[in-house]
Structure 1
């Protein structure tokens, strides 16, 4: 099943402009498939080098310019797939962009543990970076129609949007997600020898999954899983760099009672979160529907912003007296505040204190009857 990805057009707009085109994101979200589609459409001689192949990694370990030129030969397009698995990936890519300028370079990576730090240092001004996420609501609407996708909303809240999962029935989806969650947790982290105690990582992921939508404190997490706060923070850093989870900071303009260092942690995909907890019970039997809805909306908004090049800062807002706004965006000097409700018939109120502190902000409620504009790349 071929699903057209919105990021494909964005990547195409930067072809042949002297830039390395770097596609990063979680494993198994379709980075390699997307780059293969784009490269095949060019009709040019293409060389693929994959970091998942030990022989290729050994061949390119500390490679010289002359050796690299020989390897590339007459190819016009070079794809370096899973680049984070190459030793000194950033230096190798800099060598190519600096000294072999007539080739179009594509790079994919499923972890920023190596690739982001190295490419930021070595490819400054030489690359354009694109984030690819699990398939979005908007992409599925374009694929098989709005009405069809809208009817699958409960399924998406439970099983998410990984490409292998979107067309599967629940039993198959659960099996795929179980395999994916194990791979996402361990493959790059253990390969790079970053995680010394995998059992702690599992406990941490379970604790984060249970605290979805709640403010996270490293000290409390450490007590829960039997670790120290420094280890908890480092493991969360690694999980974020591996695109398993992402942090949402608290918004503050230094009002006395605003939280200034608060944070929430969300999963890029609902299905992965539910697989970690091994809980795929239907919505009517769950007590976490609010958290699932919140994670779904914020993950979809993240995709929407990335694919539409909507530059903004994202936050939640809370006071010491427990006044809260689920999601706040700051863009072009404006504040946009959103409260999430699963049930459109349930009355909701917006914190008066937020409106008083930020009287020029725009506020809106997002529920399952009107969420499309919030997650649509064409919406504000």
Structure 2
């Protein structure tokens, strides 16, 4: 079993008077991780928000009722916590009134968890996000040489645990994952009236990975108004299918300000949405796959290492651009990403003059591991 980097970070926060919140896409191993952490803790109560009886049990809960439910247990784990109404207030009740209990809530829908938990638990929680398995976790599992050999297939099939654990069956596993859970959280939300539009939107986004996205242009493609497109993209982001990268715009009149880039948390899911699993040598989108993979992997690295950074892309109206930028402690790191190690890097003088506190780096398949390693 692949050891997840979050395991030690979560262990370090246990029994310190705060709730643990673990969120992330479905099927990334949240339950498996919690089982690993608490396997030797016999006094653990597991409740699942997908269970109607659990939701009914917790519908109207007081401190007295919580104590009866908890019994002699020292740990409460609430899986799929977003399904439980007013979950934030209910967890706050335990954290404030029964502080000896370690509360852990996990979920795959940030849009409900964020609204229901973050405000009531302000100052009372540690929040972690579990992604699909990372390059660095796989390198730690079976070594750099083995994982580097598999780089091309990772760009195509990604890192969902079920995919990694079933070599040779990647297409079938990804197709089933996409069909069975991709929209499960979103379609439970009653305002989604046209799931076929959502599918077409995701397909359009998959074909535009690495390019600036216009809500207006997307709306024209799938016949939806701009506001609905933006609402759907927000939901897709809050259920950990995609994430947005904003433009850096501070100093120059010609810098792009409104458009965004949108990436997928996992290359395999992106390719499953458009049913394209052909090998790299037969593809026209290798550059987009490489960029999506690098930026999604970097997102994992930043989170797992606890590095706080603002992230952007940069482009001007006259087509000068930089793929990816991190801002940390008042300094900027600018990155250009090319699949070919033979490509010659170039950085815009306009950018370097406008943002003098910077470092420049060229990421290719000969040095990517230095950027993503743990």
Tell me which residue corresponds to 2:202: 205
Could you tell me whether the CA contact under 8 Å between 2:156 and 2:277 is conserved in 1? yes
Q: Number of matched residues?
A: 374
Equivalences for residues 82-97 of structure 1 within 5 A = 82-97=80-95
Offset from partner CA, 1:77-100 (integer Å, 9 cap, x none): 110111011111112111211211
SS in 2 for 1:338: strand
Q: TM-score, normalised by structure 1?
A: 0.96
CA-CA distance at 1:301 after TM superposition: 0.2
Return the match for 1:340 from 325, 332, 337: 337
Q: Distance in 1 between matches of 2:171 and 2:190?
A: 29
Tell me which residue corresponds to 2:107: 109
1:28 equivalent to 2:27? Answer yes
CA-CA distance at 1:374 after TM superposition: 1.3
SS in 2 for 1:122: coil
Q: Distance in 1 between matches of 2:36 and 2:172?
A: 28
Q: Distance in 1 between matches of 2:29 and 2:210?
A: 27
Q: TM-score, normalised by structure 2?
A: 0.98
Could you tell me whether the CA contact under 8 Å between 2:251 and 2:354 is conserved in 1? no
Offset from partner CA, 1:272-303 (integer Å, 9 cap, x none): 00000000010001000000000000000000
Offset from partner CA, 1:127-171 (integer Å, 9 cap, x none): 00001100000000010111000000001000000000013234x
Tell me which residue corresponds to 2:75: 77
Q: Distance in 2 between matches of 1:218 and 1:183?
A: 27
Structure 2 unaligned segments of length 5 or more: list them.
Answer: none
Tell me which residue corresponds to 1:37: 36
CA-CA distance at 1:191 after TM superposition: 1.7
Return the match for 1:325 from 322, 325, 333: 322
Tell me which residue corresponds to 1:233: 230
Q: Distance in 2 between matches of 1:289 and 1:160?
A: 14
Offset from partner CA, 1:220-268 (integer Å, 9 cap, x none): 0000001111110000000101011000000121311111222100000
Tell me which residue corresponds to 1:100: 98
Could you tell me whether the CA contact under 8 Å between 2:19 and 2:126 is conserved in 1? yes
SS in 2 for 1:326: strand
Tell me which residue corresponds to 1:18: 17
Q: Distance in 2 between matches of 1:194 and 1:65?
A: 34
Offset from partner CA, 1:186-239 (integer Å, 9 cap, x none): 211122324111011000000000111000010000000011111100000001
CA-CA distance at 1:57 after TM superposition: 1.4
Q: Distance in 1 between matches of 2:106 and 2:76?
A: 11
Tell me which residue corresponds to 2:353: 356
Could you tell me whether the CA contact under 8 Å between 1:44 and 1:77 is conserved in 2? no
Tell me which residue corresponds to 1:159: 157
CA-CA distance at 1:184 after TM superposition: 3.9
Q: Distance in 2 between matches of 1:76 and 1:167?
A: 33
Equivalences for residues 58-77 of structure 1 within 5 A = 58-77=56-75
Equivalences for residues 185-196 of structure 1 within 5 A = 185-196=182-193
1:290 equivalent to 2:287? Answer yes
Q: Distance in 1 between matches of 2:189 and 2:125?
A: 24
1:54 equivalent to 2:44? Answer no
Tell me which residue corresponds to 1:4: 3
Tell me which residue corresponds to 2:216: 219
Structure 1 unaligned segments of length 5 or more: list them.
Answer: none
The two structures, once aligned, show a CA RMSD in angstroms of: 1.1
Q: Distance in 2 between matches of 1:307 and 1:326?
A: 22
Q: Distance in 1 between matches of 2:271 and 2:236?
A: 16
CA-CA distance at 1:59 after TM superposition: 1.4
Runs of 4+ deviating beyond 6 Å: none
